[in-house]
Amino acid sequence: MNSPAPLTKDTLRIIPLGGIGEIGRNCTTFEINGKILILDCGVLFPEQTQPGVDLILPDLGYLSDKLDRIAGLVLTHGHEDHIGGVPYLLKMRPDIPVYGSKLTIAFLQSKLAEHRVNAPINIVSEGMKVKVADFECEFVAVNHSIPDSLAVIIRSNAGTVLATGDFKMDQLPLDGRLTDLRAFAKVGQEGVDLFMVDSTNADVPGFTPLERDIGPVIDTVISKTRGKVVVASFASHVHRVQQVIEAALANRRKVVFVGRSMVKNMKIASELGFLQIPDGAVVDLSEAQDMPDHQLVYMSTGSQGEPMAVLARIANSDHQIEIGELDTVLLASSMIPGNENAVYRVIDGLTRLGANVVHKGNANVHVSGHAAAGELLYCYNILKPKNVMPIHGEYRHLVANARLARRTGISEKNIVVTEDGGVVDLKDGKAELVGKIPCDMLYVDGGAVGKITEDDLQDRRTLAAEGFISIFAVVNKETGQLVEGPAIKARAYAEEDHVFDDILPAIQQALAQAASDGVRDSHQFQQVIRKTVGSWVAKAHRRKPMIIPIVVYSSRPA
C-alpha cells in the first residue's frame, strides 16, 4: 500500500510497530492532534535464521523524529514481549511517562536499573482513569498467565478503543482475579468504536482450560519421581511457580530457583504479595548441593530451548545441576512458534542423559494464557463493537479472529486485518486501513542496536551453510599484471585447500585479461576474482560460499 495521507484533525491514527503478523515485540502507536500514546514496547526472540542476534525490537525508527510528541507509554502486563523493549525506547527519550500495574512496573524497573535508565513512573490499577494529553485511559482487570494484567480503554475525540492486551477468561483463576466482563459490558453499552483483540488462540475451538487443573498434574509428576525434579517455565509465570511450590511442599521437597531472571522475578513477586512462599519452602542453589535429590524441585528458566538458559545448559552437561535416570524434567509451558526445533533439541539432550521428560505433548502440564474462540465470541457478543482490529498473533490467527467477528454479525467492511506497519485511521465511528509505513526488524546484537541489516544476516547464514573462501593476490600498480598469488584459503567448506588448484589458472587468466583491458582499480580486480571463483564453485561443487577476494598493489614487476 501507499504511504498514508497527512493526519486530519480529530482523527485517531493507529500504527502497529510490532506484534501483528507475529508473536512478539508488541508495540502500537495511537496519534491524534499531534500527540502520540504508545501501547506496550516488547521484544521478539530470534529464530535460527537470525544468527548472532540477541533481541528484536519494534521498529522504533518511526518514532525517532516524533519523540517530542510522545505523551506516554502504557503497559498492559509484564511479559517480555510487551515490556522488554522499553529500555531501548527510553534511551531515545528518558522522560516519557510510563503507566503500568504494580507488578508490571516492578518488573520494568528491574530492567531499567540494568540499563541505567530513569523514567517518570506511574502505577495504575483496574478501575482507574488517567488523562494523558488528548487521551483518557481507563484500565480494566484481565486474566492472563501473569498477574496484574490490564486491558486499556482509550478514549479520544475520535471515539473509544478497547485494547485487550493478552487475556483469557479463566473462571476459577488461581489469584481470584477475573477478567472484568462487567467493565466490558459497561463500555459496550457506551459504544466501542474499535475493538483491538488478542488473536493468539483464535483458531482454537472452545474455551481455554483452567490453570487450576494443572496443579494436580504437577503434584503427580513430582510424587512419582525418585530423584530430583527440574521444572522449566517462563521466568514471569508467577501462577505456575506458585503451583510448583505447593506441589513440592505436598511431597516434602524444597524449591530452588535457578536462573538469574527466575530468581529476580520471583523475589519481586514475593515482595509484592503476588507469590506466596511459606517459610522454609525455598532454598538457595548453594544449600541444595548438600541435600538429597529426592528432597528437591528446581524451578528454572529455559522452557523455550534458549541456548544460554539453565535447561539447555543442563541438557548439555554444562551446569552444576546434573541429570540422571531417576530424575524428571517438566516443561511447564507451550512452545512459542519458531522455537520448536530448539525445544526438541533440549528434550533430546535431557532424554539422552536418562531423564524422564514431561511436556505439553505427553501430559496436561500447561494451559495457554490466551482466549480461545469461545471466549472471543463471548466478548464480541458483550461488546458489539462497531469495528474490529485483530492483534497479537501470526497472520493465520488474525484471519481466524476476523472470521469469528463476522460470525457474530460484524460486517466485513468493519474488520481491519493488517500487519506491522499498517496505518489504521478511526474517524466518525469508522476504522479504515489507509496506508502502510516501512516497518522493519530492529536487531540488537550485543551493544549494537539497529546496526545489523538483513544483508548482514544473509552473510551470516551463508557462512553457516556454505562456508568461506578468501583469495589473496598482488598486482603491479602500473601494469595491472599479477605479481604474486593468487593464494586461496577456505573455512567451513568441507573440502581440502588443494581442490582449488584447478581454478588458479583460470583466475590468473581472468586477471591478465582484465589488465590488458586497462583495468587498474583494485575493486574491479576483486570483482573479476569473485565472478571467476563463484562460477567455478557453483559448477564444480554446487555450493554458494561467501567469497572474499583481496587485491593489493605492488611496485614490483610481474
User: Final residue of a domain: which of 358, 377, 407?
Assistant: 358
Confidence of residue 310 (pLDDT cuts 50, 70, 90): confident
Residue found by looking up cell 465511528 in the block: 429
What is the CATH classification number for the domain harbouring 524? Answer: 3.10.20.580
Which residues does 309 contact at the CB level (< 8 Å), separation at least 6? Answer: 259, 300, 301, 302
Confidence of residue 489 (pLDDT cuts 50, 70, 90): confident
What is the DSSP pairing of strand 328-331 with strand 356-358? parallel
Peptide bond into 549 cis (omega under 30): no
Same domain, residue pair 277 and 316: yes
Residues 410, 447: Cα–Cα separation, whole Å: 47
| Within a domain: 4 | no
Same domain, residue pair 16 and 68: yes
The pLDDT tens digits of the residues spanning 448-468 come to 676 666 766 666 666 656 677
Residue 485, C-alpha cell as written in the block: 598469488
Domain that holds residue 542: 454-554
| Within a domain: 446 | no
Average per-residue pLDDT for the chain: 90
| Within a domain: 382 | yes
Confidence of residue 481 (pLDDT cuts 50, 70, 90): confident
Same domain, residue pair 103 and 194: yes
pLDDT of residue 58: 94
Number of domains in the chain: 3
What is the CATH classification number for the domain harbouring 309? Answer: 3.40.50.10710
Same domain, residue pair 218 and 202: no
The pLDDT tens digits of the residues spanning 40-70 come to 999 987 766 666 677 889 999 999 999 999 9
First-last CA distance in the chain: 57
CB 314 within 8 A of CB 230: yes
| Within a domain: 353 | yes
User: Final residue of a domain: which of 335, 358, 381?
Assistant: 358
Same domain, residue pair 199 and 215: no
Say how many C-beta atoms besides its own lie within 10 A of residue 261's C-beta: 17
User: Final residue of a domain: which of 301, 336, 358?
Assistant: 358
The pLDDT tens digits of the residues spanning 135-176 come to 999 999 999 999 999 999 999 999 999 999 999 999 999 999
Same domain, residue pair 524 and 399: no
Same domain, residue pair 169 and 233: no
Residues 351, 345: Cα–Cα separation, whole Å: 10
Phi, psi of 13 (to 5 degrees): -105, 125
| Within a domain: 426 | yes
Same domain, residue pair 65 and 190: yes
Same domain, residue pair 48 and 118: yes
What is the CATH classification number for the domain harbouring 68? Answer: 3.60.15.10
Instruction: For residue 372, give the DSSP letter.
Output: B
| Within a domain: 7 | no
121, 123, 128, 129 alpha-carbon torsion, rounded to 10° = 0
Same domain, residue pair 466 and 428: no
Length of the chain: 558
The pLDDT tens digits of the residues spanning 322-367 come to 999 999 999 987 766 666 777 888 889 999 999 999 988 788 888 8
| Within a domain: 448 | no
Residues 395, 417: Cα–Cα separation, whole Å: 9
Same domain, residue pair 511 and 548: yes
Percent above pLDDT 70 for the chain: 92
The pLDDT tens digits of the residues spanning 237-260 come to 999 999 999 999 999 999 999 988
The pLDDT tens digits of the residues spanning 506-552 come to 888 888 888 888 887 888 888 888 888 888 888 877 778 888 888 88
Same domain, residue pair 353 and 377: no
| Within a domain: 441 | no
Show contacts of 89-93: CB within 8 Å, 24+ apart. 89/38, 89/41, 89/60, 89/63, 90/115, 90/117, 90/119, 91/115, 91/117, 92/60, 92/63, 92/64, 92/67, 93/67, 93/68
